[in-house]
Structure 1
Amino acid sequence: MPSEPIEASVFPSVLSREQDDEFRTLEAENLSLVLSRHSTQLNALHPVKTLHDLEEIHENEGYHLVAFEKGAGEDPREWGKLKKWWITVSTATLCLSVAIGSSIVTGDMTGPTKELGIKQEITNLTVTCFVMGFGIGPLFMAPLSEVFGRRPVYLASMSLYFIFTLPTALAHNAATLVVGRMIAGLAASAPVCNIGGSLADIWAIEDRGAPMALFSVTLFAGPCIGPMVAGWIGMYAGWRWIYWTLFIFLGVAFIFTLFIPETLAPVLLRRKAQKLRKATGDDRYCTLEELEKIPFTEAMKVALIRPFLMLFQEPIVIFFSFYLSFIYSLLYLMFFAFPIAFSEVRGFSAGLTGITFISIMLGILIAGALVPVQEKIYAKATRNGTYPEARLYPMMLGCFILPAALFIFAFTGGYKWVHWIAVCISGTLFGIAMIMIYVSANSYIIDSYSSYAASAMAAKTFLRSECGAMVPLFVNQMFHNMGFQWAGLLLALAACAIAPIPFIFYFNGETIRMRSSRASQNKRSRDEHVRAESAGSTESIPEKAAR
């Protein structure tokens, strides 16, 4: 999911911090401040950047706040492009392993059903439980990432994901299979919810287009790759080798994890402060994040409660979470509807049915290639001020493509005499619409909120994942009992019913934000920042605070 810069108050209400779409990073530049032990007044101080700077610091009653040294390669934003792209590709590999893992088991759902002697609905739970973990996991991963950094969370997450995939490959009963998938899904949520933050840590705003496009493509193309590969594996090697293949791939992905460095600025600054304290014996050297540190229990409390409050109180979060949940549910619905259209109706083998998912992936790649274009359009639209509604242009187009794709799918998928390419065309259109809507809506949520963006995204992720997880429990019955055409038609009409949402917010978004205590507060602070830039002010926000 794309990440954008947002400012939030951190210690008094004027200091600047940047947050990504899932979680936040502290902007460490220009935090050359002293906080008096006996008051809340901020006073300017020469920045502490190297050990040599310690000789120039006079004794006083304040804390010495540590900052990155310019040009020394301490700041992740200053790392070389080769290193940045290594981190980008490595984290994208983790995301790909998670995305593939969510759907790869659909390549052969009848194998475990027959061998273990369980009902088809129980086998479908292997998808449901894994995707449910996506929604629950981020609620805990957010504070963990803030406290321990991104790298430890990646390592712990991928280790657990790797370990708990093993019992699913060796399972001899339904309980082992389902519980293993549930725990693996919980663990696998960390890469998905942290990668956007990692990219925001290392890439400047104007350079994030390509990295975020790669992240978005892997996030949605991965579920399509899963059944493409698993169909052939299930045919020639059996269902267990689908799980073994995933296990081996996770082992490779874990190797990538070992070489991903820490990128979260507060953690890197905290390590630097620790070195300075150890070298000098002076405990006054610290970071702003250490001074304003929130207790872990309090962070967990906020992470668990605020998303649900926003899910019921914020119109933007409510409607866009609902729309994205529908899109995500459609994606997982296709993993079961395509086998009906191609295997049951047209007699395709499991391998050939898997190949048809290339059509959806093609649409994803087409739309992903257009993401940088949208970024340029947005940059042009916001030259003179903030305008979150400029994020909605792709969604306003995608909301027409989506029902068109579903209408084609409904009237072609269930008829053997209709050429199979027609169903694939609907899949390509669906892939295009999905990315257009998803990326646009995510960006709009982030731009509409600031210090609450992480909670807003957690709320969206929770609802999206839980809705997607429910699909395997009813999709087969829906298409078989209603008939392919009527089931597809119902989905197309639902897409038509929610199509006005982006237009409503495009024309009324500012009014809606101003009525929200969270969003309107963000809008005022950002507009003040824009006006200051327009007036030619070069004084940083921390400098104003110090003054």
Structure 2
Amino acid sequence: MSQGEREKGLEIKLVTFTEGDKEDPRNWSKGTKWLRTIVVAYTCFAVALGSSLVVMDMPDVAADLGISLDIVHLTISVFVFGFGIGPLFFAPLSEVYGRRPIIIVSMGLYFVFTFPSAFAKNAASLVVGRALAGLAASAPMTVIGGSIADMWDTKDRGLPMAIFSATVFMGPCLGPVIGGYLSAEGWRACYYLLLGVAGSAWAAASLLLPETYAVVLLRRRAEKLRKETGDQGFMTQQERFKKPVNEVIKTSLLRPLVLLFTEPIIFLFSLYLSLIYALLYLLFFAVPLVMEAQGFSLGSVGLSFIPILIGMMLTFGTILPWQAQYYNKVTEDCEAKGVPVPPEARLPSMLVGSVLLPIGFLIFAFTSYGPDRVFWIGPMFGTGIFGYAMISIYVGANSYIVDSFPPLAASAMAAKTLLSRVCGGAIPMFVDRMYHSKLGYVWASFVLAMISLLMMPIPFAFFKWGAKIRGMSKRSAE
């Protein structure tokens, strides 16, 4: 009991979840958990789709509105920048007010702010609308990692986290596939579809997603008990040492930045995921350049993103089940010894992906010649390997961050999201110049493959020495 509680003469009755408590999200049935996991994953898909659905018909946008192509490219950059900035606000707010209201408000604003771009008559409406939509839509990308941690025990979290991770990348990869043919109806048709997807995600979250954050659920229970009994001694652990909301938000706003620059785990994994995002957004511009050189039409260029999706889907039948089996075996061994399961048990899939990533980009680089020298299947094979590596890395990295910082999962994900989206959003502003420079298509991609190779040791280092590194952190699970 704190000094303030003794002065008030309160007999504290700590409000917690009991064993088998039906209000505890971790005690929901598997069917209920999966339904709500799919709902939150769909909100992520709706947001991720918005980042790339509009990339396939940019010259027509520029011609219709009388603006430069650089301004149109800016609509991708500002949308992705919003992904990075928004979590700095949404993550701490979710830790004060809960996951549900933040997700619903975020998706509602995403829907509303897509209208200015869909009906834009000038560059200002287009760019500002995209910037506000990206900022508004950023909550699911960071809050949902915490939502999954709220519902699923650590040992069962692998597949739900994999599905969440897949939707984050499946959305951007499906965007050009859909947009390539939808653009035949005019560039606004892509925005009209985006309005429908955003609106349906907002409705699904509003109707099907309850609160999952234990702190908020217990606070509500304590408030109800105080009201019913008149006994002010009922309170949660957080209420016992409650700080003013403005102080909590101020601290939480800074927390992602503090985590990013003081925690080696978060900084290095965020750096690696920044490379993944940069490479993905680069392909949105590089693949059309390479495939148009092969003589592909606009619609066919969109289809050339399908190998990335195939690579992603193959992970669900190969490396991700293997990763789950490995983690379960480690869990059984740790339970037998009575010790915690180390987060490093999440990393084997990332180890494989880190080896495949530079291989995929090397293949893409050296098959990026015209049709007179290389058959078109070459670059597609390289992007397929990239898709496989991307999910393998992302699932392992996300799970490792969440398991290493469970109480700070939302803030840790916000830190990761900030750096990775800033790097990804910068790509559209220079990728055309890079591929049309003296480097050419081949050597521009080769440089990126070498950067991937240089970063490959990161997961291997943490797999071997991660426990020691976490042991030096006051914030980590250990």
1:288 CA drift (Å): 2.1
1:444 CA drift (Å): 2.9
Aligned to 2:344: 389
- 1:159-198 matches, within 5 Å, as 159-198=108-147
**Are the aligned partners of 1:139 and 1:304 in contact in 2 as well (CA < 8 Å)?**
yes
CA distance in 2, matches of 1:450, 1:253: 27
Q: Identical aligned pairs, as a percentage?
A: 49
CA distance in 1, matches of 2:290, 2:408: 43
The partner residue of 2:150 within 201, 222, 228 is 201
CA 1:504–1:72: 2 relative to 1, 3 Å: closer
Aligned to 2:205: 257
Letter of the aligned partner of 1:362 in structure 2?
Answer: I
Letter of the aligned partner of 1:146 in structure 2?
Answer: E
CA distance in 1, matches of 2:465, 2:356: 23
**Are the aligned partners of 1:36 and 1:61 in contact in 2 as well (CA < 8 Å)?**
no
CA distance in 1, matches of 2:206, 2:402: 30
Aligned to 1:143: 92
CA distance in 2, matches of 1:448, 1:279: 39
The partner residue of 1:479 within 419, 435, 440 is 435
1:306 CA drift (Å): 3.1
CA 1:221–1:139: 2 relative to 1, 3 Å: same
The partner residue of 2:366 within 391, 396, 411 is 411
1:491 CA drift (Å): 1.0
1:108 CA drift (Å): 1.2
Moved more, 126-135 or 145-154: 145-154
1:70 CA drift (Å): 5.1
Aligned to 2:67: 118
CA distance in 2, matches of 1:414, 1:108: 23
Letter of the aligned partner of 2:393 in structure 1?
Answer: I
CA distance in 1, matches of 2:298, 2:70: 19
Q: Say yes or no: does 1:430 pair with 2:386.
A: yes
- TM-score, scaled to structure 1: 0.80
Instruction: Report how many aligned residue pairs link the two structures.
Output: 467
The partner residue of 1:488 within 411, 422, 445 is 445
- 1:53-68 matches, within 5 Å, as 61-68=10-17
The partner residue of 2:263 within 298, 314, 333 is 314
Give the aligned CA root-mean-square deviation in angstroms.
2.2
CA distance in 2, matches of 1:92, 1:215: 5
1:368 CA drift (Å): 3.8
Q: Say yes or no: does 1:223 pair with 2:172.
A: yes
1:350-403 Cα shifts (integer Å, max 9, x gaps): 211111111101111122443243133123235334433333322222222111
1:173 CA drift (Å): 0.9
Aligned to 2:313: 365
Q: Say yes or no: does 1:109 pair with 2:64.
A: no
Aligned to 1:355: 303
**Are the aligned partners of 2:145 and 2:413 in contact in 1 as well (CA < 8 Å)?**
no
1:64 CA drift (Å): 2.2
CA distance in 1, matches of 2:387, 2:134: 24
1:264-310 Cα shifts (integer Å, max 9, x gaps): 22222222222222222332222222223332222222233233233
1:38 CA drift (Å): 4.5
- 1:84-103 matches, within 5 Å, as 84-103=33-52
CA distance in 2, matches of 1:450, 1:209: 14
1:415 CA drift (Å): 2.1
1:436 CA drift (Å): 1.4
**Are the aligned partners of 1:37 and 1:63 in contact in 2 as well (CA < 8 Å)?**
no
Corresponding residue SS for 1:106: coil
**Are the aligned partners of 2:141 and 2:417 in contact in 1 as well (CA < 8 Å)?**
no
1:71 CA drift (Å): 4.8
The partner residue of 1:214 within 139, 163, 168 is 163
**Are the aligned partners of 1:36 and 1:62 in contact in 2 as well (CA < 8 Å)?**
no
**Are the aligned partners of 1:103 and 1:227 in contact in 2 as well (CA < 8 Å)?**
yes
1:121 CA drift (Å): 1.0
CA distance in 1, matches of 2:11, 2:199: 49
Aligned to 2:464: 507
CA distance in 2, matches of 1:67, 1:396: 39
1:72 CA drift (Å): 5.9
**Are the aligned partners of 1:391 and 1:440 in contact in 2 as well (CA < 8 Å)?**
yes
CA distance in 1, matches of 2:398, 2:160: 16
Aligned to 2:413: 457
CA 1:389–1:227: 2 relative to 1, 3 Å: same
1:107 CA drift (Å): 2.2
1:102 CA drift (Å): 1.0
CA distance in 2, matches of 1:464, 1:289: 32
Q: Say yes or no: does 1:497 pair with 2:446.
A: no
Q: Say yes or no: does 1:286 pair with 2:242.
A: no
Corresponding residue SS for 1:323: helix
Task: Name the structure where helix makes up a greater proportion of residues.
Answer: 2
**Structure 2: 5+ residue runs without aligned partners?**
none
Q: Say yes or no: does 1:129 pair with 2:84.
A: no
1:445-486 Cα shifts (integer Å, max 9, x gaps): 334445555444322211111000000001111111121011
**Are the aligned partners of 1:306 and 1:455 in contact in 2 as well (CA < 8 Å)?**
yes
CA distance in 1, matches of 2:314, 2:220: 42
CA 1:517–1:283: 2 relative to 1, 3 Å: closer
CA 1:379–1:253: 2 relative to 1, 3 Å: same
CA 1:357–1:515: 2 relative to 1, 3 Å: same
The partner residue of 1:246 within 194, 197, 215 is 194
CA distance in 2, matches of 1:203, 1:269: 18
**Are the aligned partners of 1:36 and 1:63 in contact in 2 as well (CA < 8 Å)?**
no
Letter of the aligned partner of 1:352 in structure 2?
Answer: S
CA 1:84–1:311: 2 relative to 1, 3 Å: closer
**Structure 1: 5+ residue runs without aligned partners?**
1-33, 41-59, 524-547
Aligned to 1:268: 217
- 1:515-530 matches, within 5 Å, as 515-519=472-476, 522-523=477-478
1:516 CA drift (Å): 4.3
Letter of the aligned partner of 1:180 in structure 2?
Answer: G
CA distance in 2, matches of 1:375, 1:431: 20
Aligned to 1:73: 22
CA distance in 2, matches of 1:449, 1:502: 17
Letter of the aligned partner of 1:176 in structure 2?
Answer: S
CA distance in 1, matches of 2:17, 2:464: 43
1:388-423 Cα shifts (integer Å, max 9, x gaps): 333332222222211111111011123223222211
**Are the aligned partners of 1:368 and 1:435 in contact in 2 as well (CA < 8 Å)?**
no
Moved more, 271-280 or 451-460: 451-460
**Are the aligned partners of 1:232 and 1:351 in contact in 2 as well (CA < 8 Å)?**
yes
CA 1:287–1:507: 2 relative to 1, 3 Å: closer
